[in-house]
Amino acid sequence: MCGIVGVVSNAPVNQLLYDALLLLQHRGQDAAGIVTLLERKFFMHKAKGMVRDVFRTRNMRGLPGNIGLGQVRYPTAGNAYSEEEAQPFYVNAPFGIVLVHNGNLTNAHALRAELFSTDHRHTNTESDSEVLLNVLAHELDRATRGGLLNSATVFEAVRSMQRRLRGSYAVVALIAGHGLLAFRDPYGIRPLAMGRGADGTVMVASESVALEGSGHVFERNIAPGEAVFIDLQGQVHAEQCADAPSLNPCIFEFVYLARPDSVLDGISVYQARLNLGETLAKRVVSTVPPNEIDVIIPIPESSRPSATQLAHLLGIPYREGFVKNRYVGRTFIMPGQGVRKKSVRQKLNVIASEFKGRNVLLVDDSIVRGTTSREIVQMARDAGARKVYLASAAPPVRYPNVYGIDMPTKDELVAHDRTVEQIREVIGCDALIYQDVDAMKRAIGSLNPKLDGFDASCFDGVYVTGDIDTEAITRMNGSRPRIEETEEDSSRLALPNLS
């Protein structure tokens, strides 16, 4: 999961790109980068860190031009510590291309071999995004055959790419001297939206909040398999480039990843989370009698809408019991379990009066590794809670995700090969209530009947691209971010094996 943005304007775009990346910061906190284009020259600055730390005044001054793109990175393949793998990526031929990518290629290993042996192109990092860039460069070269580039040849190249690529990808690329290209995988797994400003500026971004928060009007989502080419005059050309597109967005975007004020593929993220709270209420009642719950407390931030709706339907007081330190990053997307656990108590502090002597129902958006949940349950007990129940607005995460979310190995998932009772013992709560998979799909899918389905692979084990098996997952795990942990960190975080 990353956040990407591209802009074509008749005025300098460096500040606009910076502002949009700030609005997408929740999608990646590992690294940030911006490229602008002036005439035929690219200007780039990228580094590890948050947007506000990567870009200083001197860096912004070095990014001239009326067209550009940017990314906030959250690594799911390659080396998480390598500055070289911060995006955008650049290749000089043909034309000169820079690219940012949100998603994960499931056939990157095979493509890398093809690039070397057949396409005669070199990749210098372990990033699947560099592979994607070189496939695009090769197909653009073939489509233009050494001649001129126009929207027709761009779409021909994207059609050829769609036949080669597997996995999830939302992409924005700049082609020197020509314009900006954006396209999305045939299943629409990762989001991509387009909007316009009053001055004619055209922007594409991962979430609608980046458009609206930077003064643009949301126009539409880029469709699965569709390519959009915006020339230097701001003219928008669009064409469907996939053979059999279908809309199956990642359901985890609505559960956790996206901002609640975004609308993705016609679905309000906030309303989706309210709906999850409504269906969760039925599960809670069947597990814990409401008269045994004194208070409902969300685990900030993403669970608040679900917890609010749950409390309303059950007629139980809703209280804020945790105060979040906003200057500590999201633990889910932090590289390394050691960093995640250490940051939990730095990130959250309890309001003891809301816990003391009470039976508390904690509500979280999801439970992935279980490390954070266990820490939070213990914090509630330390604050004096009599009983601690835990409800998840999402079903058990039982399967690896291969489409760009950092849950790639089954051994890291607390729910894999465990019963709910075994998970409850690991986490240490008095009762554990999970959302139902089908109920989750209905609750969110009802908000847009035009969807063909969801990628809910981490919950149901069904991979929409149809090319994933145990061998493929094992191969992809070999290219996941390399995170070094101390022996102390690893031993401290080992979960009991209850399977």
344 and 331 in contact (C-beta within 8 Å)?
yes
Pick the catalytic residue: 2, 241, 250, 458?
A: 2
Neighbours of 247 (CB within 10 A): 21
- Per the DSSP assignment, residues forming a β-bridge with 6 are 69, 204
CA 172/CA 177 separation, integer angstroms: 16
Composition of the chain by helix, strand, coil, percent to 5: 35, 25, 40
Asked about 458 being catalytic, the answer comes back as no
How many helices (DSSP H) and strands (DSSP E) are in the chain?
A: 17, 21
Of the CA atoms within 13 Å of residue 249, those in its CB half-sphere come to: 29
CA 156/CA 140 separation, integer angstroms: 8
Q: Quote the DSSP letter at residue 223.
A: P
- The residue type of 388 is V
Burial of 322 (0-12, 13-18, 19+ CB in 10 A): buried
DSSP per residue over 170-206, as a string?
A: EEEEEETTTEEEEEE-TT--S--EEEE-TTS-EEEES
Burial of 239 (0-12, 13-18, 19+ CB in 10 A): middle
459 and 437 in contact (C-beta within 8 Å)?
yes
CA 461/CA 165 separation, integer angstroms: 21
CA 228/CA 246 separation, integer angstroms: 17
Question: Among residues 184, 157, 234, which one has the least CA distance to residue 403?
Answer: 184
**347-369 CB burial, b ≥16 within 10 A, e <16:** bbebeeebbeebbbbbbbbbbbb
**Cα dihedral 396, 398, 400, 406 sign:** positive
CA 366/CA 364 separation, integer angstroms: 5
Of the CA atoms within 13 Å of residue 253, those in its CB half-sphere come to: 32
Q: Quote the DSSP letter at residue 433.
A: E
Angle formed by the axes of helices 269-287 and 304-314, to 10°? Answer: 50
Neighbours of 448 (CB within 10 A): 16
- Residues that are catalytic: 2
